[in-house]
Structure 1
Amino acid sequence: MRESPIDDFWVRARAAVPTLPAAVPEAWAFGATATDADALLSLVLDGTKTGTASSLHDCEADGDALPEPGQLSVILDGSDLPRAVIMTTAVEIVPFDQVSAEHAYSEGEGDRTLGAWRAIHESFWREYSQDPRGFSADMPIVCERF
């Protein structure tokens, strides 16, 4: 049987880091487009991006489990190829308008300010939200650090 690119990636990752578990973690890409995935992955690979945010409403609408500290993820590029492994270190759920400047900085986008984070993410959720409630300033945000 031929292995998938993710399975092959995981075999190589485990060869490099033997303490990784045998089970292949969930694989996913940042953003909503291939361009987003590549740009945000680049920030992860260069060490700039150490955080991400998700709409709790979107997670619920999609049936996605919330991240938990210690959880591993395989990060895909815009072509759905595995490129990185991250480990969640912290998760906090806060209203959009209470996301901290520290978290905004950890996401590595724009000029890394809270103002830029809010503009980028409001635009993102207005365009791509999976939940019919869409964007609101008090919507719950899953702030994940890795």
Structure 2
Amino acid sequence: MRPDDLPTVELAFPGPERDRGVAAILSGRKTALTGLLEIYEHDGETVPMTGQRFSVLDSEGRPVVTIELVDVRVVPMKEIDDDFARAEGRGYSNVAQWRAAHEEFFRSDGVSEYLGHTPVIDHNTVVVAERFRVVEPE
């Protein structure tokens, strides 16, 4: 399957945050993603499944790398552990740092504007925790 035929993943919003995430995937530091279940529901999208492949887009909307999901869990934030936090490839040394960064992002103006309200983020907030492997650079 060509990258153009795959569903796409866009990390955060276009700009420096997305660029850092894409670079972390390409370097091998990032092997996990976290999404807010409420965003999937808002979009009417189903939760991705293990084995699914995605084309990761850069800030210009160009396919950069293909990933394959190796594990997908729908869990409350309190179930994320240090190992998963480090796999996010953003330099988090523990789940507390992961949690602070994700709370900030999920409550950001961009997410609030997208959803039409500021989501409630606490230890019971449900996230989609995905682990992946790089299949091929584009």
Q: Which residue matches 2:41?
A: 60
TM-score (norm 1): 0.79
- Select the structure that is richer in strand: 2
Among the aligned pairs, what percent are the same residue?
Answer: 28
Take 2:87 and 2:95, find their aligned partners in 1: how far apart are those partners?
Answer: 10
Take 2:120 and 2:11, find their aligned partners in 1: how far apart are those partners?
Answer: 19
Q: Structure 1 residue 135 and structure 2 residue 116: aligned?
A: no
Query: Is the Cα–Cα contact under 8 Å of residues 57 and 131 in structure 1 kept in the other structure?
Result: no
2:81 alignment partner, one of 73, 78, 100? 100
Q: Structure 1 residue 145 and structure 2 residue 119: aligned?
A: no
Unaligned runs of 5+ in 2: 133-138
Q: Which residue matches 2:5?
A: 24
Q: Give the superposition deviation at 1:133.
A: 6.0
Q: Give the superposition deviation at 1:57.
A: 1.1
Q: Aligned partner of 2:97: which letter?
A: A
Larger C-alpha radius of gyration, 1 or 2? 1
- How many residues align? The count is 127
Q: Structure 1 residue 46 and structure 2 residue 27: aligned?
A: yes
TM-score (norm 2): 0.83
Q: Aligned partner of 1:136: which letter?
A: I
Query: Is the Cα–Cα contact under 8 Å of residues 72 and 87 in structure 1 kept in the other structure?
Result: yes
